[in-house]
Structure 1
Amino acid sequence: MPLTFRKSFQILPGVRLNINKRSWSITTGGKNGPRHTHSSTGRRTTSMDLPGPFGWRKTRKGGGH
């Protein structure tokens, strides 16, 4: 099983800096409501936890609109 590197830091309330081996990203939002993630690779993701074991996610790759 390969080893992975991932670290997440809270830099402000509701703002996290996520770092892994190949890129970094900024996540805004909290547990209640949508979260928006912008990656250094251009990927943008919006996600939200829904009641129960459900969740919703939409990803745009390459910074496209």
Structure 2
Amino acid sequence: MAVTFRRSIRILPGVRLNLNRRSWSFTLGKGKGPRHTFGSRGRRTTSMNLPGPFGYRRTTTSRSRRGGR
């Protein structure tokens, strides 16, 4: 079994700092309504829980931080 490190720290109501072994991210928003996550690797995610089995998620990655060829 692999050893993992993951930590989520609440900075203010509705603001979290998420840490893991290789990167960090900030999450803005809480409970009802959209949540926006901004990662250290250039990834931005917007998500929202909708009633029933529905949900919304949109992820974008900045091209300047991508490890492309």
Query: Per the shorter chain, which TM-score range?
Result: 0.7 to 0.9
Normalising by structure 2, report the TM-score: 0.81
Query: RMSD in angstroms over aligned alpha carbons?
Result: 1.6
Corresponding residue number in structure 2 for 1:10: 10
Normalising by structure 1, report the TM-score: 0.86
Give identity over the alignment, percent.
Answer: 64
Structure with the larger helix share:
2
Gaps of 5+ in 2: 65-69
The ranges of structure 1 where at least 4 consecutive aligned residues each deviate by more than 6 angstroms after the TM superposition are none
Secondary structure at the residue paired with 2:9?
strand
Report how many aligned residue pairs link the two structures: 64
Gaps of 5+ in 1: none
